[in-house]
Amino acid sequence: MKSSRRKFIRMAGFAALGWSICPSLAGAAVEAGPKLYFKGEEQLSATQWAMAVDTKKLTRQVMNKCIEACHTLHNVPEIDSNQNIKWLWIEPFRNLFYDQSHPNLTDMANKPFLALCNHCENPPCVRVCPTKATFKRPDGIVLMDFHRCIGCRFCMAGCPYGSRSFNFFDPRRYLEQLDPEYPTRTKGVVEKCEFCAHRLDKGQMPACVEASEGALLFGDLSDSSSDVRRALRERYSLVRKPKLGTGPNVYYLI
Amino acid sequence: MLEKAIKGNVLYWGWLFFLLAIIGVGAGAYMMQLEQGLGITGLNRDVSWGFYIAQFTFLVGVAASAVMMVIPKYLHNFKAFGRMLILGEFLAIAAVSMCLMFIIADLGQPQRLMNVLLHPSPNSILFWDMIVLNGYLFLNLLIGWVTLQSERKQVAPPKWIMPFIYLSIPWAVSIHTVTAFLYAGLPGRDFWLTAVMAPSFLASAFAAGPALLILLGLAVKVFAKWDPGKESIQALAKIVVYAMSVHLFIVACKVFTAFYSQIPDKLYHYKFLYLGLDGHTTLATFSWVAIAAGVIAVIILLNPRNRQAENVLAFSCILILLSTWIDKGLGLISAGFIPNPMKQVVLYTPTQPELLITLAIWAKGFLILTILYKVAVGVKKEIEA
Ligand code: SF4
Ligand code: SF4
């Protein structure tokens, strides 16, 4: 499978066409039951993956480490304009929870938090995508097929959290070093955080979680003994814009 | 019948070459966009749809307006529209073609367009929009061509075309309703999240489309020396003024809901649209021009005497087009994205290449329109001669 896939990549000359291929999607893109994409013994599986952000442990330094880990691993370019790409980024509490903040919440309001895709239970981005390039895996991860995306950006309009980015340019133009482990994208497609699905499939935790020094917890929401569930039992937590009914799976422990 | 398109005077050919020149320049800009990506536009991470999608939205309305003649003609046997109906149908063809071109211009990966058909996603409104737009294009091509052909032979249109004509009525409503639903069903975009989206789209469409038709009818009268008939122009003028009044009323309803409730989620968008937010007032200026132009046009046109004076009528139609174009072509999309989900103001201004591409697509639409009108008017003149 692996070698034939590699051959396939070479043969099709995807690189020349400016396409990219994401190994973790190769199976999942073929919409099928869980069996098709569960690839190995070591794969971590879950009914619904979720993340808990321990805001007490979030220092600038920790956050930067998380972002760095994510953006280098996924070849996310650094672009200095509002046509930029963000998978994981810093946003003050006030912006993330403007509906739950008030003028007298002074300290809290300006506190920097991490923001990312919420991997919604009822994701509007999946609903609006005209090509199923955005889809939800059975384990709750909202994934993207970069080859299928036509760049209509409907998903960007659909996401109420500003979690999606568009490749206005060829991202390779802005990448100083490439991580060959993960594909680069082409211009004209949308991308976002994917809960490191490709790492979970190899039995590893998301890169940001590993880099976070305990500030980010990750686990199966349906497993009452998971880190995330334990944290949610013990701490007060918020999710972004709960009233929209999207069912975000990133929790902020306050 | 197409041979009529290649026989024309200097003015006709001059106009075609003028349009072709604009198309040429725009094609250059589009090549640049294809090569470099949508980065050459003013779009950004927060305002991810802009001028292209706005033009598309405006033109869907223009396309839908043919129905305002089909209904009186076929459901109420209002004969006066018979003379002019073909102009409406051909306008619809040109407008839908422009819509499709604007959608394609907006895609980041246009060569993958067929993915919409290869992986049909009935959940996505965009999928349905493609279907209704292409369907409407097909219907109007078919109806327009068949009826014009039988007119030329001076026989009644064949019976089998009638079901298509009746189908085109709900279909016209559907193209605008489905387009409105592209926006109306998105969580977190409070500016668009309203049930009056589709009705308000239809109201402004039934003002803008017929207003453009009146202007085109008058242009045909001047340039092609063929009179589409006073009665049909006057009937259209009435449709324009009532539809515009309904449109302005709906705008007022939306503004009331936002400002009286004072719920920030909704309010900020309306503040941005009409008052300016964080000191950004450019769009607000446009919005007030739109309101003023709309109100003035309605006041003028409510008086039958003004409607009958063709120059006053033409002036008012221009005002209405200006008003509805600002409403859809500038306000609707920008104010929907601003402020962004984090309640920050990130602005969007179309860039020069973006404007050139837009202009070129308009020119292509007018090219299609000119050729179709040339044929239609040629046939009409031939019969009447
Ligand atoms: S946060 Fe946005 S991108 Fe992520 S699943 Fe929800 S709607 Fe989709
Ligand atoms: S931009 Fe791509 S992922 Fe997003 S809705 Fe369009 S096709 Fe789907």
- Under the banding of pLDDT at 50, 70 and 90, the label for residue A41 is low
Q: Which residue has the higher pLDDT, B376 or A30?
A: B376
* A150/B115 CB distance under 8 A: yes
Q: How close is the Cα of B124 to the center of ligand 1, in Å?
A: 15
What count of other Cβ atoms lies within 10 Å of the Cβ of residue A180? Answer: 7
The pLDDT of residue A1 is 38
Cβ distance of B342 and A186 shorter than 8 Å? no
- The pLDDT of residue A27 is 40
Give me the mean pLDDT over the A223-227 stretch: 92
Residue ranges of E strands in chain A:
49-54, 89-92, 112-115, 134-136, 142-144, 165-166, 190-191, 216-220, 237-238, 250-253
Do the Cβ atoms of A131 and B115 come within 8 Å? yes
User: How close B123 comes to chain A (CA, Å)?
Assistant: 6
Question: How close is the nearest chain A Cα to the Cα of B99, in Å?
Answer: 14
* Chain centroid, CA B309 distance in Å: 25
Among A209-213, A226-230, B81-85, name the one with the lowest average pLDDT: B81-85
Taking CB atoms and an 8 Å cutoff, what residues of chain A touch B110?
A: 150
Q: Are A188 and B109 in contact (CB under 8 A)?
A: yes
B107 with A150: Cβ contact below 8 A: yes
Q: Say whether residue A246 is in contact with chain B using an 8 A CB cutoff.
A: yes
Q: Is the CB of A197 under 6 A from ligand 1?
A: no
pLDDT for A40? 60
Cβ contact B340:A96 at 8 Å: no
Residues flanking ligand 2, CB < 6 Å: A 128-131, 133-134, 144, 149-155, 190
Distance from the alpha carbon of residue A128 to the mean position of ligand 2, in angstroms: 8
Atom of ligand 2 nearest to the CA of A131: 7
| Helix, strand or coil, per DSSP, at residue B205 | helix
Q: What is the DSSP letter of B75?
A: I
- Amino acid code (one letter) for B181: F
CA A110 vs CA A63, A96, A101, A106: distances in Å: 15, 10, 10, 7
Among A125-129, A180-184, B355-359, where is mean pLDDT lowest?
A: A180-184
Q: For the CA atoms of B220, B221, B224, B226, what is the dihedral angle to 10 degrees?
A: 110
Residues of B in contact with A132 (CB under 8 A): 119, 121
For residue A246, the ligand 1 atom closest to its alpha carbon is 6
Looking at residues A186-195, what average pLDDT do you find? 96
Interval A183-210 mean pLDDT:
94
- Sign for the pseudo-dihedral over CA of B105, B106, B108, B110: negative
Would you say residue A22 has pLDDT above 60?
A: no
- Residue A17 clears pLDDT 70, i.e. is over it: no
Using the beta-carbon criterion (under 8 Å), do B123 and A127 form an inter-chain contact? Answer: yes
Low-confidence ranges of chain B (pLDDT < 70): none
**What mean pLDDT is predicted for residues A52-67?**
95
Closest ligand 2 atom number to CA of residue A164 = 4
What is the Cα–Cα distance from B342 to B281, expressed in whole angstroms? 20
With CA atoms as reference, the chain B residue closest to A173 would be B36
Identify which has the larger pLDDT, B104 or A36. Answer: B104
Does A12 score more than 80 pLDDT? no
Percent pLDDT > 70 in chain A is 84
